[in-house]
Amino acid sequence: MRGRTSAVVALAVTAALVAAPAAPAAAARCDTRPIQTALKALEKIGAGITVTVRSPRCGVWTGGVGLADRKTGRKVTGNEHSRIGSNTKTWTATVVLQLVGEGKIKLDDTVDQYLPGLIRTEHYDGRTITIRQLLQHTSGLPDYLSAPFWEDEEAHRWDHIEPLQTVQQALPLPPPERTPSGFAYSNTNYNLAGLIVAKVTGRGIDTEIDQRIVKRLGLRETSWPGDRTTIPKPDLRGYVRDGRAWVDKTEWNTSEADASGALISTGADTTAFWTALLTGKLLAPAQLAEMKQTIPDDYGQDYGLGVEGYRFGSGLVAWGHSGSMASGHKFRNAVTEDGRRAVTLLIGADSFNSDKVQAIMGNLLRDLR
């Protein structure tokens, strides 16, 4: 949620089969060689990384490389909890589109219809900004993280901050630079979407995500932290590079992230969510089709309604949404169009070769069977 990216101590490779196909014959055809190749490549990234893989023959597989905790030497096993940052946006967009399917929201309704008078400045007018534009980052609203208040994020590490405050922080800012498609990535958009969900349902976006997605799918390791600064155990510690040293920034009050990036989860839970989403278990066909209508974003990639479209080599198309937090946690995932193959990475470091990680994910997704 804090910004977005396009895609060590002794390292160890660990892996465990979490769920395999029921039939023994199908399990026998599971080929983990592509996974092992990916793990060896990820070792060189220099971070603690949990790896979750889903494929028709292998079911759901979890493992990892590196250290979950550099201080204690605890190795990554694959079941660690982590902040998933902006991947939360997909969960928020899913709730909004469910409400669209129920006739409670229309994508082309304006913000002002739900939050009258909130956005009325020299540069921004809620009467001309639609729900669709919020979800696709074409509203023209600036990112609240560009406000002077956030120049020193560390100063607000323990603060409780309401989503409405973040919107108010954004409104005095000048309009952001936009791509020809009108795209300008802004966390403000999703905190506004969360406020609209609350106005329509009478319940916060945290409750709606919990009731409509988490409980519905039985995701026992996914949680909304609120003001809780810790991550459930076992945790993937988050590290930020300070010169040559890695500093543990795991504990953080992320209340301001709200609908744009607050969720905590595991690789297995997020993989289950994305599989359910792309196979039509959470959205009706019409709403899923709306979600996947894309425009070029600031990286030249495809961006739909809360989803990023990836085009790997060999014509492979996949969906996901990256995430990044000031606590040193990063998130990467890619799921094939049919939801049958998926790769999810939770990364406990704020700096690494993102292009290399994306390439490793693409190769693994391509080779999974």
| Residue numbers annotated as active site | 86
List Cα–Cα distances, 312 to 299, 316, 320, in angstroms.
14, 5, 13
| DSSP conformation class of 77 | -
**Cα–Cα distance, 260 to 191 (Å, whole number):** 6
How far is CA 65 from its chain centroid? 21
Is residue 256 within 8 A of residue 247, CB to CB? The reply is no
Cα distances from 334 to residues 165, 168, 191, 325, in angstroms, run: 33, 34, 24, 19
> What is the distance between the alpha carbons of residues 7 and 275, in angstroms, rounded to a whole number?
20
For 189-294, strand residue ranges (E) read 239-242, 245-248, 264-265
Kind and range of the H or E element at 43? Answer: helix 33-43
Length of the chain: 369
- CB-based burial of residue 78 (10 Å sphere; 0-12 exposed, 13-18 middle, 19+ buried)? buried
d(CA 30, CA 238): 33
Torsion of CA 249, 254, 260, 264, to 10 degrees: 70
